[in-house]
Amino acid sequence: MNETRTLARFVVETRFADLPTRLVDNCKIAVLDAIGAGFVGSVQPWTRRIVSVVQALGGPPDASVIHEDWRTDVSRAAFANGVLIGAFECEPLTGSHASGTVLPAALAICQRERFDGARFLAALALGFEVSARIARTAVGLEAVRGFHNPGTQGPFGAAAAVGRLYAFDEEHLTSALGIAGSSSAGLLEFAWSGGDTKRLHLGRASQLGLESALLARAGVRGPETVLEGRSGYFNAFSTSPRIEKLLEGLGTDWAIEPPCLKSYATHVTHQAVVDAIQRFKSEHPLDPGTITRVAIRGAPRIMEERHSARAPHDVLGGQYSLPFTTAVALTRDL
């Protein structure tokens, strides 16, 4: 079975009217939450440096950049907005960080082409779904292979969304996915030795997906088995992919439900821990100085080595560190 082509056909044939009302409503919430995350990101020093480079590169004023009073071309706008949305670990996670990969690409094209809201939301939902299905199919991409999920999965979702906005047929959408997958990337090394590269990954994924769709629109062809092929995405990035998860329940069971919104600016695996501590403190006032030991039980992913740093090297390291976020939750009211 050609999984890539089947996924492309789903994007092409699904109508706005086919989307469950609750799913559309959740997409609207994700948009608002993501824009809010972008405003938070706009004041971070690493983001200011990245955005200043985008501004210096120029480009026709086709699309806006969150919080900025200047515009740029759709490719650079998608990149900048993806960086802004993912800049401080507080963006919606629905669809493997799709709010920072799919949304910026779709938004930039809609601004340039003046597409309406229904068209935008349909493209957004379908792009989110493509990204989410690829994410749930891959196994060991981060923990074993050392890649960063949204950097490798986001380009597919962004390409699908832009292709949908331009009403691609199955052939062009398949090519857009093929082009996007052929260049997808993103290493997880930042989790070990720091740096600002994680802040770049969402924006780069959005930019790559958008440009892949534009290339396909111009007639550039991509491999039609980019996901399932012998040298395709899953064989390159995953250990033993759960390939049945890619198309299971397609069109009836949505992989982006329930939505995933963050309450705290930490890694997603720490949200429940921080929330539990805050709830406990509200009912049982405590003196952090009297605490000698904290025991946390949870899923194996929470306990991965990359989340165990006791002396994080930078802000991102702190957001990724379970010991650090636990200490902050115990000593601060969040």
207 lies in the same domain as 291: no
State yes or no: pLDDT of 135 exceeds 90: yes
179 lies in the same domain as 243: yes
Question: Which stretch of 4-13, 45-54, 268-277 has the lowest confidence by average pLDDT?
Answer: 268-277
Looking at the domain assignment, is residue 256 inside a domain? no
124 lies in the same domain as 205: yes
| The total number of residues written for the chain in this structure | 334
23 lies in the same domain as 88: yes
65 lies in the same domain as 126: yes
CATH of the domain at 189: 1.10.4100.10
Looking at the domain assignment, is residue 252 inside a domain? no
Looking at the chain, which runs of residues are DSSP E strands? 63-64, 71-72
Q: Which two tokens stand for residue 146?
A: 């050392």
- The band of 13, judged by pLDDT with boundaries at 50, 70 and 90, is very high
What is the pLDDT at residue 113?
99
What is each CA distance from 126 to 71, 122, 216, 265, 279, in whole angstroms? 27, 6, 18, 27, 36
115 lies in the same domain as 177: yes
Residue that terminates a domain, selected from 177, 212, 247: 247
Identify the domain containing residue 276 by its residue range: 268-331
Question: Which amino acid is it at 26?
Answer: N
162 lies in the same domain as 197: yes
185 lies in the same domain as 327: no
204 lies in the same domain as 274: no
233 lies in the same domain as 129: yes
Looking at the domain assignment, is residue 253 inside a domain? no
Q: For the beta carbon of residue 264, count every other beta carbon within 10 angstroms.
A: 19
234 lies in the same domain as 305: no
Helix, strand, or coil (residue 221): coil
For the segment 219-249, what is each residue's pLDDT rounded down to a tens digit?
A: 999 999 999 999 999 999 999 999 999 999 9
- Domain count within the chain: 2
Looking at the domain assignment, is residue 259 inside a domain? no
Looking at the domain assignment, is residue 261 inside a domain? no
State yes or no: pLDDT of 103 exceeds 90: yes
What is the pLDDT at residue 226?
99
72 lies in the same domain as 173: yes
Answer yes or no: are the C-beta atoms of 249 and 9 closer than 8 Å. Answer: no
Looking at the domain assignment, is residue 304 inside a domain? yes
- State the average pLDDT over residues 127-149: 94
Answer yes or no: are the C-beta atoms of 312 and 304 closer than 8 Å. Answer: no
Looking at the domain assignment, is residue 54 inside a domain? yes
| pTM, two decimal places | 0.96
What is each CA distance from 128 to 1, 263, 308, 324, in whole angstroms? 23, 21, 30, 31
For the segment 20-69, what is each residue's pLDDT rounded down to a tens digit?
A: 999 999 999 999 999 999 999 999 999 999 999 999 999 999 999 999 99
- State the average pLDDT over residues 267-291: 92
- The band of 94, judged by pLDDT with boundaries at 50, 70 and 90, is confident
Looking at the domain assignment, is residue 273 inside a domain? yes
